[in-house]
Structure 1
């Protein structure tokens, strides 16, 4: 089987009749200069440009490349561009469906093509993290002997999902999520370019904004939705793609939500206040509005982490770890799966017992410091690890808590200016009830010095 022959035939058909291919295929970059986003990888002299022999500095020195990044940001496209730029065969396999047998068949085909026709091969292996160690080992001879130029894609951290021998022989490139500006530029090119819609219709800002939200940072999704909406507008005889037409074709209503305006802050505020009020259903509603509008999942995760400390605190000590874990997971997986993680955390926080004691405690302490109530550190708490400290009375009389029963020494810790002030006032809600009992006993023991 020679996949490059089918690819070449498809390209010939596209050149003769561009409309025969989907818009996303027609707009596929043919050179690195046409690639959307990833500017950090496309600078003159970058390893990626040297890999295709573009620019100064010679070849990149690696016959294997690992592309790491979230779904839908152009990993397959980059592999295709490399094959085009270097005039090599392009063969694509997915680790979901392919095994060692299929990999060996491609490698054998690559060796035959190189020996018989002098044609080198680019092997694009999608989702390499799904390959076992043994399956990844089968790639090593081809990489070491440069029988193929391997370009592997993964959405998971390659330091955990790719074997060390393969990783050490590879050029690791980290891809960044596509921004709205990246997708705007791509759609503008598709609207007016010869390979695109050739200026048949225009796209007003409100319809463009909705397409961006529907795309969710995925270039293929953006072009597919744009093509469907443009087709509907042309069929109606309309010169522009209206918001109503976009809503009809993508079967999704436009959410009134401006990520840079009042709706952004109002809905985010409503989410946090619903969590604070323990209304899990309202919280999920506002979360859904933010997700549907294309809000950055990292922004939502940051708000949840703040809520965990601001409104829950020690009433549920698990709240913050849940929120932090959600933020870490969201950063790794992105949408659409990140919606599940955000829902998980939102439900947990909304139903957790609430306490703002940590918030009011640090607020009161900061207020005193800002009002000049800092005071001198008591002499017995000062650093005594230098010559002459004892003569100054520093660290003298300090009682080491581990040397006394119960581990709490009756001595003064606070400066005289705020000695006796109590900032932390625990509630009796949830797990904080236990902390309330503890702090009461501790304070009584500390006051034994008076």
Structure 2
């Protein structure tokens, strides 16, 4: 059922619609080297073959899994001979280009520059991370989207009725509910949808694929989630930002996505511990206790019961008041240290373990805070060059509001007290 020309191709209207970039490149036969970046089953290979047919170019399929440097040399010779003896350009389709090593990708460069062939790379991974910069700069990156449910339903309908390449000779029918269910479960992947339809056709009773048959054919589909790839970072980013945005429903959804896809729960819990300090902070100091307790409790009980512990901790952190003041404070302090260097410790707060140090003035004038009302002496503890500098700026959120009020009182008391010790 692979489409043979643009008229049969479904989806990617942002690239192939009337007047759109890729359609113009094909129609004017001015194709340049491209990289198709899109999820599985979105039509990358099909689109490359359609382009080759439309431009009357010689098409070579090259797989990053099966081929290496030796095969690249053979492809170059084939492309040169095709142009020399037949006057035809070559389109080299490099499937899963992200799986090539840096040296293998380097091997393509001179031939792409020279125009020996037009390269079309296909990848499910972000090319910014997976394709070397010199090659990336010589290619136009086109993003392919997952197929819509409507697109997939049309693909399934075509397959059911096509007598030449599809299942038309079986004269099966499918209910709207069955088609919609199979399309939704495919997750925008045409291959998954067609495989499901084929299975459903084998188990269908009475010449009809109904919802029950579709459910039986689907069983359980794996979620799109590569622990080492971009989707891993996309989902964990959505999870953290949902908690930061105080949306427990979204946070629980992304948590469920990760758990269902097989993400390591300890990785999730470690990110939650960081989040509790970075984003909740002193607005609710119990947030860090909750995150650490969840980590320890999960290590005690494991899965599947551990999902309950994760759910409790996530919903708590998502709904807790937020402040990044302590996070910003340490970063500002580190920036100051890098800028001003190792400023001398004020004499009144230096340690004086020997009599010589005491004679030199180490510790002289130090005020013991507990000897003063409310445990505050009013003394300054920063180097003289940084007197009055503020790194921690508490916010009005949660418990930090109380901290801010106390710091305002401390500021007032300090202004009454001489900065230098007597």
- Judged with a 3 Å threshold, the aligned counterparts in structure 2 of structure 1 residues 245 and 404 are, in CA distance, closer, same or farther, namely same
> Aligned equivalents of 2:155 and 2:318: distance in 1?
48
Q: What is the CA distance between 1:83 and its match in structure 2?
A: 1.5
Alignment of 1:189 onto 2:162: no
- Judged with a 3 Å threshold, the aligned counterparts in structure 2 of structure 1 residues 290 and 184 are, in CA distance, closer, same or farther, namely farther
Q: Determine the structure 2 residue equivalent to 1:132.
A: 101
- Judged with a 3 Å threshold, the aligned counterparts in structure 2 of structure 1 residues 152 and 353 are, in CA distance, closer, same or farther, namely same
Task: Confirm or deny: 8 A CA contact 1:92 1:124 kept in the other structure.
Answer: yes
- Judged with a 3 Å threshold, the aligned counterparts in structure 2 of structure 1 residues 425 and 61 are, in CA distance, closer, same or farther, namely closer
Structure 2: 5+ residue stretches without partners: 222-241, 262-267, 292-305, 324-383, 417-422
> Aligned equivalents of 2:43 and 2:107: distance in 1?
26
Q: What is the CA distance between 1:440 and its match in structure 2?
A: 5.5
Task: Confirm or deny: 8 A CA contact 1:113 1:120 kept in the other structure.
Answer: yes
- Judged with a 3 Å threshold, the aligned counterparts in structure 2 of structure 1 residues 30 and 285 are, in CA distance, closer, same or farther, namely closer
> Between Structure 1 and Structure 2, whose CA radius of gyration is higher?
2
Task: Confirm or deny: 8 A CA contact 1:313 1:319 kept in the other structure.
Answer: no
Matches for 1:104-123 after TM superposition, within 5 Å: 104-123=73-92
> Aligned equivalents of 2:160 and 2:197: distance in 1?
9
Q: Determine the structure 2 residue equivalent to 1:358.
A: 321
Instruction: Choose the corresponding residue for 2:40, options 71, 76, 84.
Output: 71
Alignment of 1:250 onto 2:218: yes
Q: TM-score, normalised by structure 2?
A: 0.58
> Aligned equivalents of 2:22 and 2:390: distance in 1?
61
Task: Confirm or deny: 8 A CA contact 1:66 1:152 kept in the other structure.
Answer: yes
Q: Determine the structure 1 residue equivalent to 2:208.
A: 240
Q: What is the CA distance between 1:231 and its match in structure 2?
A: 2.8
> Aligned equivalents of 1:41 and 1:86: distance in 2?
17
- Judged with a 3 Å threshold, the aligned counterparts in structure 2 of structure 1 residues 348 and 131 are, in CA distance, closer, same or farther, namely farther
Task: Confirm or deny: 8 A CA contact 1:178 1:218 kept in the other structure.
Answer: yes
Q: CA RMSD in A?
A: 4.5
Alignment of 1:207 onto 2:215: no
- Judged with a 3 Å threshold, the aligned counterparts in structure 2 of structure 1 residues 167 and 288 are, in CA distance, closer, same or farther, namely closer
Task: Confirm or deny: 8 A CA contact 2:396 2:404 kept in the other structure.
Answer: no
Alignment of 1:39 onto 2:7: no
Matches for 1:268-287 after TM superposition, within 5 Å: 287=256
SS of 2:209's partner is coil
Structure 1: 5+ residue stretches without partners: 1-26, 254-271, 293-300, 321-342, 361-401, 414-421, 427-434
- Judged with a 3 Å threshold, the aligned counterparts in structure 2 of structure 1 residues 157 and 287 are, in CA distance, closer, same or farther, namely closer
> Aligned equivalents of 1:100 and 1:134: distance in 2?
9
Q: TM-score, normalised by structure 1?
A: 0.54
- Judged with a 3 Å threshold, the aligned counterparts in structure 2 of structure 1 residues 286 and 208 are, in CA distance, closer, same or farther, namely farther
Matches for 1:31-430 after TM superposition, within 5 Å: 31-52=5-26, 54=27, 58-60=28-30, 62=32, 64-194=33-163, 195-198=165-168, 200-233=171-204, 236=205, 238-252=206-220, 287=256, 313-314=280-281, 315=285, 316=287, 347=310, 350=313, 354=317, 356-358=319-321, 405=387, 407=389, 424-426=397-399
